[in-house]
């Protein structure tokens, strides 16, 4: 067991024939991910096997629409690499094609476009789950990697990791692996103000997953995602949880790289988040170098 | 992206939102004509800077108030005192901001003041109109002390603001009377249309006023835009005022680097926004003070890394540099080559440099640094790196 993706997940790549899409689709396939198709409007019907820099191990069929890849190849996950002006359109296309798990890597999507996507996801009868945008993706080590994270730092195991930040996720996964443990699934939910899956939904999935024995939650300034997850964990989760919150030194009113990482007034500050997490009995790592060690401490390992 | 009040008012007028008549002047020679174009015995003289709290601000030479209600014959003299002067408000920091534009508006008689804004609510993913009868006050303060005086109306971005929502707001603000309701509806519809069609991240009117003649007018205007959406609004991009931005931050943007200048003395270069923030935090945790936030992102080229390193060196406060890279898409060898090129380019490194590389191509990266002959302290992990740079700089 794991959450969201496993060895049977059938992935279609939106933006496959672009530079970024090609590079990462190749990396994912070499990891063992079942890439069953790519979507590039106008190139449907061709078999694609890479560009002058990257050669796939085997050619991948290209479709004009995501719906075609679902009906012809049974795709049940879609990873999106298309540029920001077109990314929300791709997400909506995947939702309408009935794709269960949509993972959007693209950074820089207009907030208004994401508000429309969110309204669509909230509609009754919508079966899709969106991860991201502006995220590294999802990996179930040893089975399936959908995203841009370096494969080497992950090991199969029982720690569920959820994070708003890409490189901090790598930091946490690497520490867990180096301490002799591994990850059930690692989810990057992204640092945008409006995204598909919240911190709360991610920890709920980990709580329900029998393979996941312990949880790491990595947050940052902006919004109140972390506090909501913490309140829920306090009342519903018996698994050990460790956390880290980035941005203690971030100045007020400035956007720290991620579109969503901003302290407005008194709300969204790291201090406020850390205090709430601690009140909920969650151990917060004092530095980003001690995330792994902090988890082992609460885990009793 | 932020814009000036006079630009925001221009947008308001374009969208049918009532504002007091005004004229902006960017040179002393334009002051007389600007005032002459306005009616009435009084003129409001307003300093234009990208920061709030102007009214209570103080100029560096001691002149008080960035906004003055003046007799029309005194307006030009007051404007001259503001122009070219540095205005310090609680939002500008001690350095203050130079006033390069003066906005003159006709004076309005005020019967009552209100607050009105539109923002995106992150939690629900909906637009939210925030209204209050406590105009001219700091809205965060009102929200904290008297939350019952604030009304929030959530709007589905797919359908936009509906008539019943406009009525709800009108009744709350006391604009229930038929004529007033009509005027308020025109105003809020215009504001919402501006907000939605131009990808605003904030539209704020504080205060919104009711005049004794029963007109509803936006007395102040604050509008900011979603940077991610500027690509589809070339008209809005025209409003950008580069002199309001930090020159180092402008330089960084050219190379698609995320750079924010801070007040400390330990510069840092990191990949990933979360890790970049966490690196600042850990410097502080071990007793140091970060000089900046810098996320070089995942796709940076050697040239961008070189540019980034030069930006860090050009900050006079920098006493040491910490490079922290966890290579994913970003390769450690690209970082290393960029740093070596930058050091050569500036004719050698005069301040201490601590480097922690991890992840993709870490061996090649370390090799490039080791063979470069540059004096570099390497670190095994982030704790080690932060402790080393803090120790070296505090010596």
Helices assigned H by DSSP within A179-301: 199-208, 225-236, 270-279, 291-299
User: What is the mean pLDDT of the segment spanning A136-147?
Assistant: 96
Helix axes of B362-371 and B332-345: crossing angle, nearest 10 degrees: 20
Give the active site residue among B6, B115, B192, B239.
Answer: B115
pLDDT tens, residue by residue, B80-89: 999 999 999 9
Distance from the B121 Cα atom to the nearest Cα atom in chain A, whole angstroms: 9
Give me the torsion for CA of A166, B367, B385, A242, rounded to 10°: 30
The DSSP bridge partners found for residue B359 are B327
A277-298 per-position pLDDT tens digit = 999 999 999 999 999 999 999 9
pLDDT tens track for B359-393: 888 999 999 999 999 999 999 899 999 999 999 99
Angle subtended at Cα B319 by Cα B352 and Cα B257, rounded to the nearest 5 degrees: 90
Chain B contact present for A112, CB below 8 A: yes
Of the candidates A10, A24, A145, A258, the residue annotated as catalytic is: A258
Q: What angle do CA B163, B167, B172 make, to 5 degrees?
A: 150
Residue with tokens 């995106």: B120
**Number of A–B residue contacts, CB under 8 Å:** 172
A114 contact B CB<8A:
yes
Chain A closest-CA separation from residue B176 CA (Å): 31
Residue A95 pLDDT: 97
CA atoms of A173 and A188, how far apart (whole Å): 12
Residues of chain B found within 8 Å of residue A194, distances taken between Cβ atoms: 120, 122, 125
Report the pLDDT value the prediction gives residue B52, as an integer from 0 to 100. 86
Please report the pLDDT score of residue A1 as a whole number. 67
Q: What CA–CA distance (Å, rounded) separates B210 from B218?
A: 9
State the pLDDT at residue B329.
75
Q: Which of B6, B204, B239, B259 is catalytic?
A: B204
Distances (CA, A) of A151 to A156, A159, A189: 11, 16, 18
Do the Cβ atoms of A167 and B125 come within 8 Å? Answer: no
Per-residue pLDDT of chain B (395 residues; tens, 9 = 90+): 999 999 999 999 999 999 999 999 999 999 999 999 999 999 999 999 998 889 999 999 999 999 999 999 999 999 999 999 999 998 888 889 999 999 999 999 999 999 999 999 988 899 999 999 988 777 878 888 888 999 999 999 999 999 999 999 999 999 999 999 999 999 999 999 999 999 999 999 999 999 999 999 999 999 999 999 999 999 999 999 998 888 899 999 999 899 999 999 999 999 999 999 999 999 999 999 999 999 998 778 888 988 999 999 999 899 999 999 998 778 899 889 988 998 888 888 889 999 999 988 899 999 999 999 999 999 989 999 999 999 999 88
Among residues A259, A274, A189, A281, the alpha carbon closest in space to that of A3 is found at A189
ipTM for the predicted complex comes to 0.92
- The CA radius of gyration of chain B, in Å to the nearest whole number, is 25
CB contact under 8 A, B273 and A191: yes
What's the pLDDT score for residue A266? 66
- More confident: A292 or A267: A292
Q: Note which residues in 260-279 of chain A have CB less than 8 A from chain B.
A: 260-261, 265-266, 270
Could you tell me which residues are beta bridge partners of residue A284?
A243
Residue A258 a catalytic site member: yes
Spatial contact of A238 and A280, defined as CB atoms under 8 Å apart: no
Which phi and psi (to 5°) does residue B203 adopt?
-125, 120
């Amino acid at each position: 067991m794991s959450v969201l993706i496993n060895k049977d997940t059938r992935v279609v790549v939106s933006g496959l024939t672009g530079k970024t899409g090609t590079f990462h689709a190749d990396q994912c396939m070499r990891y063992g991910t079942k890439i069953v198709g790519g979507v590039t409007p106008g190139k449907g019907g061709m078999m694609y096997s890479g560009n002058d820099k990257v050669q796939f191990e085997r050619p991948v069929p290209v479709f004009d629409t995501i719906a075609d890849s679902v009906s012809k190849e049974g795709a049940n996950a879609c990873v999106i690499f298309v540029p920001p002006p077109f990314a929300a359109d791709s997400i909506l296309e995947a939702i309408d094609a009935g794709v269960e798990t949509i993972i959007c890597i693209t950074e820089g999507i207009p907030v208004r476009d994401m508000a429309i996507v969110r309204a669509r996801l909230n509609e009754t009868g919508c079966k899709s789950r969106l991860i991201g945008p502006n995220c590294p993706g999802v990996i179930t080590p040893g089975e399936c990697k959908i995203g841009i994270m370096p494969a080497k730092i992950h090991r199969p195991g029982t720690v569920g990791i959820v994070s708003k930040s890409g490189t901090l996720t790598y930091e946490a996964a690497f520490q867990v692996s180096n301490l002799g443990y591994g990850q059930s699934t690692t989810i990057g939910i992204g640092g945008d103000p409006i995204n598909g899956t919240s911190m709360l939904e991610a920890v709920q999935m980990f709580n329900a997953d029998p393979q996941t024995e312990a949880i790491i939650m990595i947050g940052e300034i902006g919004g109140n995602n972390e506090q909501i997850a913490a309140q829920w964990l306090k009342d519903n989760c018996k698994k050990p949880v460790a956390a880290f919150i980035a941005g203690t030194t971030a100045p007020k009113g400035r956007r720290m790289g991620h579109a969503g990482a901003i302290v407005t007034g008194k709300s969204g500050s790291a201090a406020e988040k850390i205090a709430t997490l601690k009140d909920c009995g969650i151990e917060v790592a004092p530095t980003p170098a001690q995330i792994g060690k902090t988890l082992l401490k609460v885990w009793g390992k | 992206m932020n814009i000036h009040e006079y630009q925001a008012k221009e947008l308001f007028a374009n969208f049918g939102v009532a504002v007091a008549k005004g004229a902006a002047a960017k040179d002393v020679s334009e002051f007389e004509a600007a005032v002459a174009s306005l009616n009435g015995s009084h003129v409001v003289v307003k300093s234009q800077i990208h920061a709030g709290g102007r009214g209570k601000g103080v100029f560096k030479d001691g002149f008080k108030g960035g906004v003055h209600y003046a007799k029309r014959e005194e307006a030009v003299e007051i404007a001259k005192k503001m122009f070219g002067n540095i205005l310090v408000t609680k939002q500008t920091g001690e350095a203050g901001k130079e006033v390069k534009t003066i906005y003159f508006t006709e004076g309005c008689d005020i019967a009552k003041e209100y607050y009105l804004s539109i923002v995106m609510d992150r939690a629900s993913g909906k637009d939210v109109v925030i209204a209050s009868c406590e105009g001219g006050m700091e809205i965060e303060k009102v929200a904290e002390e008297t939350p019952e005086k604030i009304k929030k109306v959530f709007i589905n971005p797919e359908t936009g603001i509906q008539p019943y929502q406009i009525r709800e707001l009108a009744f709350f603000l006391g604009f229930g009377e038929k004529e007033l309701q009509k005027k308020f509806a025109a105003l809020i519809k215009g504001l919402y249309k501006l907000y939605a069609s131009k990808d605003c991240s904030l539209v704020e009117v504080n205060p919104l006023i009711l005049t004794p003649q029963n007109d509803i007018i936006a007395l102040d205007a604050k509008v900011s835009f979603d940077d991610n959406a500027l690509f589809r609004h070339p008209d809005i991009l025209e409003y950008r005022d580069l002199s309001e931005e930090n020159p180092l931050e402008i330089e960084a943007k050219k190379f698609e680097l995320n750079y924010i200048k801070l007040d400390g003395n330990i510069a840092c270069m990191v990949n990933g926004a979360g890790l970049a923030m966490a690196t600042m935090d850990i410097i502080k945790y071990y007793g140091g003070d970060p000089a900046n936030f810098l996320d070089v992102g995942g796709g940076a080229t050697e040239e961008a890394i070189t540019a980034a390193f030069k930006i860090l060196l050009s900050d006079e406060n920098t006493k040491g540099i910490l490079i922290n890279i966890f290579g994913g898409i970003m390769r450690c060898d690209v970082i290393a080559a960029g740093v070596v090129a930058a050091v050569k380019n500036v004719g050698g490194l005069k301040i201490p440099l601590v480097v922690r590389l991890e992840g993709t191509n870490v061996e090649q990266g370390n090799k490039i640094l080791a063979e470069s002959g540059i004096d570099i302290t390497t670190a095994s992990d982030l704790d080690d790196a932060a402790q080393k740079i803090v120790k070296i700089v505090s010596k």
